[in-house]
């Protein structure tokens, strides 16, 4: 005759505890979710759907299920658009507003790996299409940046008519050249963008996420009061301030197109001033410095303070 302890032990073997059952179900849910993710990254829509159906049946309360469902549907329903900017722009908007957030929620750090092929296909559809100011997200340069094809993005940006005067092209060119070669290669287009569309500079600096550039921007804001400059126009003065602090960067602007506005003309003056300083042409220096003072007294004071430090 078995004792009570023996019966209890037998029951423990036959009937798993609720904790064991929960661990088993959790493990099953994780395995299924990982298999859905693997299929999504392999762009295997059929397999992704099969594993998703299993998740809905065996792990219906998994927190990632809604996001993964969105991604499986996106992959299954994806069709290449017509080679027309408005249609491409609509798909970009869908990727940004619907598929992108779902990818971040369901795939985490692997989200870019899932999204890149969609943007690459859109970039292929946009190949050869002219820049459409009304649909900038549909232009090939913007799409190549989204899928990491930075060399193609650079070439597409340079293909925009009057790219050196077009903010979208300068934006794309800055990002592409920074990713390819670093901040030195991107400086000229960044400065040109600051002159052409100053309110976009903060966005570009955020996208670049360059620690040194961020520190330089903070230093620029604190350099003086800038009282006579409207806040909206302040970023356009960043290039001139940068040249005051880093005169050697003037060589990056050898082929720059300087707009007629005061911030760009101040930068152009500084490039000439540095050249005259090297030549020792004092008479020309006096005239150029007077022009700089007229354009921006605060910047002129900073410039003269740096000259005084250098010649002590």
Q: For the chain, what is the mean pLDDT?
A: 89
What's the pLDDT band for 306 if we cut at 50, 70, 90? confident
d(CA 138, CA 124): 11
Please determine, for residue 20, whether its predicted confidence score (pLDDT) is greater than 50. Answer: no
Structure tokens at 227: 């009282």
How many C-beta atoms surround the C-beta of residue 233 within 10 A? Answer: 14
User: According to the model, what pLDDT value does residue 265 have?
Assistant: 96
CB 174 within 8 A of CB 130: no
d(CA 169, CA 130): 12
Q: pTM for the whole thing?
A: 0.85
More confident residue, 235 or 60: 235
Over the stretch 228-259, which tens digit does the pLDDT of each residue have? 889 999 999 999 999 999 999 999 898 888 99
What's the pLDDT band for 307 if we cut at 50, 70, 90? confident
User: According to the model, what pLDDT value does residue 15 have?
Assistant: 45
User: According to the model, what pLDDT value does residue 3 have?
Assistant: 47
Over the stretch 155-172, which tens digit does the pLDDT of each residue have? 999 999 999 999 999 999
Over the stretch 214-227, which tens digit does the pLDDT of each residue have? 999 999 999 988 87
User: According to the model, what pLDDT value does residue 308 have?
Assistant: 65
d(CA 4, CA 112): 59
User: According to the model, what pLDDT value does residue 16 have?
Assistant: 47
d(CA 68, CA 56): 11
Per the rule left: phi > 0, alpha: psi between -120 and 50, beta: everything else, 29 is alpha
- Cβ contacts of 231 within 8 Å, gap of 6 or more: none
Least confident of 21-35, 93-107, 180-194: 21-35
Over the stretch 260-287, which tens digit does the pLDDT of each residue have? 999 999 999 999 999 888 887 678 889 9
Residues in the chain: 312
Structure tokens at 163: 């790219």
Residue 134 burial (10 A CB sphere; 0-12, 13-18, 19+): exposed
Over the stretch 117-134, which tens digit does the pLDDT of each residue have? 999 999 999 999 999 999
Total H helices, total E strands in the chain: 17, 0
What percent of the chain has a predicted confidence (pLDDT) above 70? 90
d(CA 184, CA 201): 16
Please determine, for residue 14, whether its predicted confidence score (pLDDT) is greater than 70. Answer: no
Structure tokens at 292: 């700089």
- Cβ contacts of 223 within 8 Å, gap of 6 or more: 241, 302
Q: Can you tell me the mean pLDDT for 20-47?
A: 80
How many C-beta atoms surround the C-beta of residue 4 within 10 A? Answer: 7
Alpha helices by DSSP H, listed for 127-196, are 140-146, 150-158, 167-181, 183-196
What percent of the chain has a predicted confidence (pLDDT) above 90? 76
Q: Residue 259 carries which DSSP code? A: -
- Cβ contacts of 256 within 8 Å, gap of 6 or more: 164, 188, 191, 192, 268
Closest by Cα among 194, 213, 183, 164 to 266: 194
Least confident of 9-18, 97-106, 261-270: 9-18
User: According to the model, what pLDDT value does residue 86 have?
Assistant: 95
How many C-beta atoms surround the C-beta of residue 27 within 10 A? Answer: 10
More confident residue, 180 or 231: 180
């Amino acid at each position: 005759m078995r004792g009570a302890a023996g019966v209890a032990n037998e029951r423990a073997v036959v009937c798993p505890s609720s904790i064991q059952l929960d661990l088993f179900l959790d493990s099953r849910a994780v395995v299924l979710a990982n298999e859905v993710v693997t299929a999504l990254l392999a762009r295997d829509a059929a397999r992704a759907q099969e594993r998703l159906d299993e998740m809905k049946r065996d792990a219906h309360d998994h927190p990632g299920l809604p996001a993964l469902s969105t991604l499986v549907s996106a992959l299954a329903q994806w069709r290449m658009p017509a080679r027309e900017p408005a249609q491409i722009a609509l798909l970009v908007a869908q990727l940004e507003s619907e598929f992108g957030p779902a990818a971040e929620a369901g795939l985490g750090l692997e989200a870019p790996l899932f999204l890149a092929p969609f943007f690459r296909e859109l970039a292929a559809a946009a190949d050869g299409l002219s820049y459409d100011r009304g649909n900038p997200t549909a232009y090939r340069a913007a799409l190549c940046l989204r899928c990491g094809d930075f060399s193609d993005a650079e070439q597409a940006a340079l293909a925009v008519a009057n790219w050196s005067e077009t903010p979208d092209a300068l934006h794309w060119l800055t990002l592409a050249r920074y990713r390819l070669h670093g901040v030195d290669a991107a400086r000229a287009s960044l400065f040109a963008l600051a002159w052409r569309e100053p309110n976009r500079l903060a966005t570009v600096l955020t996208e670049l996420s360059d620690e040194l550039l961020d520190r330089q921007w903070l230093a620029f804001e604190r350099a003086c009061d800038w009282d006579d400059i409207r806040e909206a126009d302040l970023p356009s003065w960043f290039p001139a301030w940068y040249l005051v602090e880093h005169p050697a960067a003037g060589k990056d602007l050898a082929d720059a197109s300087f707009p007629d506005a005061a911030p760009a003309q101040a930068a152009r003056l500084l490039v000439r001033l540095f050249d005259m300083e090297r030549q020792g042409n004092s008479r020309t220096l006096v005239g150029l410095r007077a022009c700089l003072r007229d354009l921006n007294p605060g910047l002129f004071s900073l410039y003269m303070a740096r000259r005084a430090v250098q010649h002590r």
